[in-house]
Amino acid sequence: MNFELTDVQRDIQRLCREFAARELIPNARKWDETHAWPTEAVKKLAELSLLGVAVPEQYGGAGLDNVCYAIAMEEISRGCASTGVIMSVNNSLYCDPVMKFGTEEQKQEFLVPFARGEKLGCFGLTEPEAGSDAAAQKTIAVRRGDEFVINGSKNWITVGPKADAIVLFTMTNKEAGNKGITAFLVPTHTPGFIRAEPDKKMGISAAHSCSMFFEDMRVPARNILGKEGEGFKVAMSTLDGGRIGIAAQALGIARAAFEEAVRYSGERQTFGKPIREHQAIQFMLADMATEIDAARLLVLQAAVLKDKGMRHSLESSMAKLYASEMASRVANKALQVHGGMGYSKEMDAERHVRDARITEIYEGTSEIQRIVISANVLKE
């Protein structure tokens, strides 16, 4: 077993770390406070080919592997968790399914400009009554000749307010349950596509999400992604990859929190010495460092399996479950190391706690990950 990164993987890590130090870390607190979409940072992600990391070069991507993607996600999210999730939505939830299930014609229209970062995509699965129970889709698509008429709504769609297209999940045959779900590629300028104001959230405040409504929205049948009735599998296999991205995002948030705790513990003095010379702090730092490394191994394991083309539902869920809960534990401990200053908006510790929390919820709550994991380990 080789734990060394390749030269390319190390180059990506360095590139992303430098970018984060230069463009993200100095701005992340301000973007959080003002809820400002990081326009310039997203533009630069595109210039660095970070919006289609694992998409082949012929389709506008960087043509790298999923290990590179996970490494990049960790570094970018360490700099700014909001920028991290914007990157992950376009890479994992949008480009990945178009690459995997799209026709050549669909790839030219709906992948190339998105992998290049000229346009942004999003993923429309969640509905007011279909969150964890993703198969309970109420958005209805009815065939009328060569097109479908879509009515319904989605909510919590990350990147929704800025997206140029959506992978949209609909019910085309209610009686068939999860086998009646169909995915469509829909430009957001389609008549009948309505977006609400951005949601007000606890964290990742610069990564805007919104509800959306579809009123008699007509979409050509040629925009079906995958096969009619196979949308649930498109959604689930996409989330297998997406969960690697969110696990890596959680890892990046945890590292940011940990590194600040290490620094602060050298500056802050109590009882005549820096607090890092007290065993109470040392033990916290030791636990944080160990958990961060454990999470990274799970993330890389899932990414390696994805690169090998192997089923990775179990490993992705394990990575997402562990990394997200770890990020909350680490961010909370980092805040504790900062004492009263950790609770202040003058420091980043409280933002990391807020940003970490969502990683336990989106792309499947911790409870959903435990369902996926137990179903896999109990399989005959």
> Least distance in Å: CB of 125 to ligand CAA?
5
State the pairing for strand pair 165-171/121-124.
parallel
- What is the DSSP code string of 56-121? -GGGTS----HHHHHHHHHHHHHH-HHHHHHHHIIIIIIIHHHHHH--HHHHHHHTHHHHTTSS-E
**Hey, is 219 helix, strand or coil?**
strand
Q: Which stretch binds ligand CAA (CB under 6 A): 16-24, 111-119, 142-150, 365-373?
A: 365-373
Q: Choose between 9 and 313: whose C-beta lies nearer to ligand CAA.
A: 313
Neighbouring CB atoms inside 10 A of 206's CB total 26
Going residue by residue from 41 to 80, which x/- string records binding to ligand CAA, judged by CB under 6 A? ----------------------------------------
Q: For residue 368, state whether it binds ligand CAA (rule: CB under 6 A).
A: yes
Residue type, 270: T
Tokens of 97: 């399914």
Q: Is 114 exposed, middle or buried (0-12, 13-18, 19+ CB in 10 A)?
A: buried
Q: Choose between 306 and 351: whose C-beta lies nearer to ligand CAA.
A: 306
Q: Are 355 and 81 in contact (CB under 8 A)?
A: yes
Q: For residue 295, state whether it binds ligand CAA (rule: CB under 6 A).
A: no
- Kindly tell me the sign of the dihedral angle through the C-alpha atoms of 170, 172, 223, 232: positive
- Show contacts with ligand CAA in window 205-244 (CB under 6 A): 232-233, 236-237, 239-240
> Least distance in Å: CB of 85 to ligand CAA?
6
The answer to whether 363 is a known catalytic residue is yes
Chain centroid offset of residue 38 CA: 16
CA distance linking residue 215 with residue 192, whole number of Å: 5
Going residue by residue from 3 to 32, which x/- string records binding to ligand CAA, judged by CB under 6 A? ------------------------------
In sequence order, the β-bridge partners of residue 150 are: 141, 217
CA distance linking residue 61 with residue 63, whole number of Å: 5
Q: Choose between 9 and 369: whose C-beta lies nearer to ligand CAA.
A: 369
> Least distance in Å: CB of 45 to ligand CAA?
16
Q: Which stretch binds ligand CAA (CB under 6 A): 41-49, 94-102, 292-300, 364-372?
A: 364-372
Tokens of 127: 């509905």
Q: Choose between 61 and 231: whose C-beta lies nearer to ligand CAA.
A: 231
**How many residues can be counted in the chain?**
380
Which of 59, 94, 110, 156 touches ligand CAA (CB under 6 A)? Answer: 156
> Least distance in Å: CB of 304 to ligand CAA?
17
Q: For residue 178, state whether it binds ligand CAA (rule: CB under 6 A).
A: yes
In sequence order, the β-bridge partners of residue 153 are: 213
Choose among 233, 217, 129: nearest CA to 180: 233
The three-state DSSP-derived secondary structure of 231-280 is HHHHHHHHHHHHHHHHHHHHHHHHHHHHHHHHHHHHHCEECCEEHHHCHH
Q: Choose between 311 and 345: whose C-beta lies nearer to ligand CAA.
A: 311
Going residue by residue from 79 to 108, which x/- string records binding to ligand CAA, judged by CB under 6 A? ------x---x---x---------------
Residues 291, 363, 367, 380: which is the catalytic one? 363
CA distance linking residue 241 with residue 302, whole number of Å: 9
- Show contacts with ligand CAA in window 107-146 (CB under 6 A): 123, 125-126, 132-135
Q: Choose between 76 and 372: whose C-beta lies nearer to ligand CAA.
A: 372
φ, ψ dihedrals at 378, nearest 5°:
-95, 0
Q: Choose between 159 and 288: whose C-beta lies nearer to ligand CAA.
A: 159
Question: Which residues of the chain form contacts with ligand CAA (CB under 6 A)?
Answer: 85, 89, 93, 123, 125-126, 132-135, 156, 158, 178, 232-233, 236-237, 239-240, 313, 362-364, 368, 371-372
- Residues recognised as catalytic: 363
